Structure 1
Amino acid sequence: MNNHFMNSKWLYAFLLAPVISAVLALLHFGFVFKSGTAGFGIVILLILYFDRLKQAKDVLLIMAAFLFSIVGDWFLSNMNGDAGMFIFGIVFFFFAHIGYFLFALMNGRMKRIFTFILLAGYLLFFAMKLYPNIDNTTLMWSALIYLVISCLSLGAAVGLRGSPVAKWAYVFGIFLILFSDTIIAYKEFVGYNELNYLILPTYYLAHIAIVFSIIKKRITE
């Protein structure tokens, strides 16, 4: 694919695929469409970097993160109250965050003060709201470790260098994942269900924002 095409704003049209998939998923058309924002994200990134995948190790991490997200989402979508399935879902989403975290570090640096404040706030949230309601030790540790990597991912995202648009789109995407996961935590551990309607829209929009960020990055390279 030539450089002129790679520098074209028409690349943003690729985002129509995950957007349509997200809409169909919200209309309950099944897991294929639920996984579509991440799945189409992988396809789009492969198209953008197909001729330089070996050099684009950071983008490969995002593809891996999307793949882990699909697997994690499958476990959560089929858990039906099974704590084991929930734990497996957390594990795969943990690996997804490793990908997001390493991508950000490869393109910037950790914002230490921001990360410290964010992590302190979420650890307080865990101690006061979640821990008293978790009676499964494995689940408790899984949730805690996942909370830590989620905060680290956002802290690293805030330290991205490069195009401001690409940076803040990526930050927005990681923030939305953290926001969606916070609502899930309230739902599963506290029994608070009033915000459940935001879980999937924010999760899908997170993938779209991250792909938008990578497209912007590719255009400006």
Structure 2
Amino acid sequence: MMWLKKNGLYALLAISVVLAILGVSTANFIFKSGTAGMGILVILLLNTGLKKSAKDTWWILAAFLFSIIGDWFLSNMDGDSLMFVKGIALFFLAHVGYLIYAILNGRIKGTFTSILLAAYLAFFFLVLYPTFTDVPLMVASLVYLLISCFSLGAAVGMKGDLTAKRSFILGIVLIIFSDTIIAFKEFVDYHTFDFLITPTYYLAHIFITFSLIKRFENKVPITK
């Protein structure tokens, strides 16, 4: 039964890869939300058979759910800055989920986070800030930048299985990388790397899901 469950989880991960390819090559929202959707399904399956659910994994489930809704807002904004702000707000909540999950399994890496914050705040005020004409959008972007840095800092400070940790860190890095390209696209009108936005975003979900599978596979203690 354990073998069947393990292989079923990897089958879902393989489906995530297919959905990611379809999400990149089409405009179908079902495909675009597929990697996060498969991640939610994997989390539900990981919790089946446990005497008590792994409560920390519900934060990742919530993060994936907020990501799906946030992606819908960004996919349908059509130049509407309010839709963009709503999308950022939902992705902010997704990062809160990643942050809490990481903290429950470790701690925020102070020095790393401080350096990351300094670098991204410099990027924000020197590159992005001069382009803003919409104050709510500026505030939303700054707050989102801050939570992104803290979620990566917490990921770096995680304990437990090394493969699971590295995969989770890579997932958060890919989200921040994708968001950085979006910032250049939306605020600086720089489009050279636009083609990387969705592939890195979908890969982030896949690596975070893989991280959870490896944690289950290696029987790492689960935070209750």
TM-score, with structure 1 as normaliser: 0.95
Structure 1 match to 2:56:
58
Structure 2 match to 1:40:
38
The Cα offsets for residues 102-151 of structure 1, whole Å up to 9 and x where unpaired, read as 00000111100000000110000000011100111100000000000000
Question: In structure 1, what is the Cα distance between the partners aligned to 2:9 and 2:28?
Answer: 27
Question: In structure 2, what is the Cα distance between the partners aligned to 1:55 and 1:24?
Answer: 32
Runs of 4+ that moved beyond 4 A: 2-6
Unpaired runs of at least 5, structure 1: none
Question: In structure 2, what is the Cα distance between the partners aligned to 1:53 and 1:156?
Answer: 28
Structure 2 match to 1:25:
23
Structure 1 match to 2:172:
174
- State the 1:5 CA deviation: 4.5
Q: Pick closer, same or farther for the CA change 1:134–1:215 going to 2, 3 Å.
A: same
Name the % identity. Answer: 54
RMSD (Å) for aligned C-alpha atoms: 1.4
**Residue 100, structure 1, aligned to residue 94, structure 2:** no
**Residue 49, structure 1, aligned to residue 47, structure 2:** yes
Q: Secondary structure at the match of 2:107?
A: coil
Match of 1:82 among 65, 76, 80: 80
Structure 1 match to 2:208:
210
- State the 1:12 CA deviation: 2.3
Structure 1 match to 2:153:
155
Question: Number of paired residues?
Answer: 219
Question: In structure 1, what is the Cα distance between the partners aligned to 2:22 and 2:74?
Answer: 19
Question: In structure 2, what is the Cα distance between the partners aligned to 1:16 and 1:53?
Answer: 28
Q: Secondary structure at the match of 1:57?
A: coil
- State the 1:52 CA deviation: 3.4
- State the 1:9 CA deviation: 5.8
Structure 1 match to 2:222:
none
